[in-house]
Amino acid sequence: MIHLKNLTKMFDKEYAVKNITFDLPPGKCTALLGPNGAGKTTTLKIIAGLMHPTSGQVDLSNGMRGDIRQYIGYLPQHPQFHNWMTGKEFLQYVARLSHIPYPESKKRAERLLERVGIADAKNRKISSYSGGMKQRLGIAQAMIHKPSVLLLDEPVSALDPIGRRDVLNLMEELKQEATLLYSTHILSDAEEASDEILLMHKGSIVESGSLQDVKERHQLDKITLRFEGDMQSYKEKVEAFPFVTHTDIQKKKLHVYVQNVPEARDVLLDLVNKEQWPLLFFEVGQTTLEDLFMKVVKEHAMADHL
């Protein structure tokens, strides 16, 4: 498979990617997470050979050798096509460029257009395609030569809810055929579609592992409350309890991170009852990937300031 070793990329003395090392797990779907500017796109472009690393290398194994391009399919964040071609012509063109014989290229183009759901528009000029149709065509061109690794840069971010659902389903199917590495900043998509996650921030990998492991490693129990009026006074009172690790207020909700859920729940509900607090919302749950994302990004932002 593909191994990245001490990969670094600098743009004018700024690190875009800083000394990252990881092995792409074969047969899995890996999500590359991170805020904008974390280095996700740069990493994907380096793997695809479109950018050259400042230092470090991309190694192949498992019978893959030579030109990496024959094993990968790549979808850029904003795919651009020859707009004077029709969708079918373009697919056939890239198929022929991937050394697929003419009759087979025709068959594959037809089948893929069907599969990504733009068969109706196959004989129309690409210039008349909508953004979503271009994104679908982009996925089709990445799959045309049946690559063993698919690199998708923000495959769903630009799509409407229906398109997003279609593409996520398609990715679910593709998992059976290829190793997937895709970048996203939409955490619910990552939670839904991926087996492994890599969390990047400012060019470095700050967290990685299987989705389950990462969640367990960072998961905290929390109780979410909402009251009428100003939350600040309630926050101070709740913080006094020994089982509370910390609290914060987001979107007018008070998040209380606790160590012992049954005890905390009982004590808090008792308190609300006794003091007659105007309760609007009460939830016992766990931190989500989004909380983890925010936490990691904040921690590193803090470290930068110190």
Partner 1 sequence: MQWLTIYKKECLESARNYRWVWVPLVFILFCIMDPLTTYYLPQILESTGGLPDGATFNIPTPPAPNVFMMSISQINTLGVLVIALITMGTIAGERKSGVAELILVKPVSYSAYVTAKWAAHVSLVLLSVFVGLIASWYYVQLLFGDVSFIHVMSSVAFYVLYIIFVISISLFMNTWTKIPGLVLFLTISVILVLNLITSIFSHLLEWSPTSIVSHLPALLRSGEVGQNLWMAGLITILSIIFLLFGAIQTLKRREIV
Q: Which positions from 220 to 259 touch partner 1 by CB under 8 A, shown as an x/- string? A: ----------------------------------------
126: Cβ contacts below 8 Å, ≥ 6 apart: 81, 82, 83, 84, 85, 86, 87, 90, 134, 137
CB closer to partner 1 out of 75 and 190: 75
Mask for 41-60, x = binds partner 1 (CB under 8 A): ----x--xxxxx--------
Q: Is residue 37 at the binding interface for partner 1, with CB under 8 A as the rule?
A: no
Nearer to partner 1, 46 or 238 (CB): 46
Residues 62-121 that bind partner 1 (CB under 8 A): 67, 69-70, 72, 74, 76, 78-82, 84, 93-94, 96-99
Q: Exposed/middle/buried for 237, CB within 10 Å: 0-12, 13-18, 19+?
A: exposed
Q: Cβ 6 to partner 1, closest distance in Å?
A: 19
Min dist. Cβ of residue 45 to partner 1 (A): 6
Q: Rule CB under 8 A: choose which of 43, 135, 141, 184 binds partner 1.
A: 141
The smaller minimum CB distance to partner 1, of residues 53 and 293, is found at 53
- Given the complex with partner 1, which of 51 and 220 has the nearer CB atom? 51
Q: Judged by CB, which is closer to partner 1: 126, or 170?
A: 126
* Near partner 1 by CB under 8 A: residue from 145, 164, 201, 222: 145
SS3 sequence, the chain?
CEEEEEEEEEECCEEEEEEEEEECCCCCEEEEECCCCCCHHHHHHHHHCCCCCCEEEEEECCCCCCCHHHCEEEECCCCCCCCCCEHHHHHHHHHHHCCCCHHHHHHHHHHHHHHHCCHHHCCCEHHHCCHHHHHHHHHHHHHCCCCCEEEEECCCCCCCHHHHHHHHHHHHHHCCCCEEEEEECCHHHHHHHCCEEEEEECCEEEEEEEHHHHHHHHCCEEEEEEECCCCHHHHHHHHCCCCEEEEEEECCEEEEEECCHHHHHHHHHHHHHHHCCCEEEEEEEECCHHHHHHHHHHHHHHHHHC
Q: Provide the minimum distance between the beta carbon of 60 and partner 1 in the complex, in angstroms, as a whole number.
A: 14
50 versus 301: smaller Cβ distance to partner 1: 50
Considering the complex, what minimum distance in angstroms separates the CB of residue 111 from partner 1?
18
Size of the site for partner 1 (CB under 8 A): 27
Nearer to partner 1, 140 or 254 (CB): 140
Which residues contact partner 1 (rule: CB under 8 A)?
45, 48-52, 67, 69-70, 72, 74, 76, 78-82, 84, 93-94, 96-99, 138, 141, 145
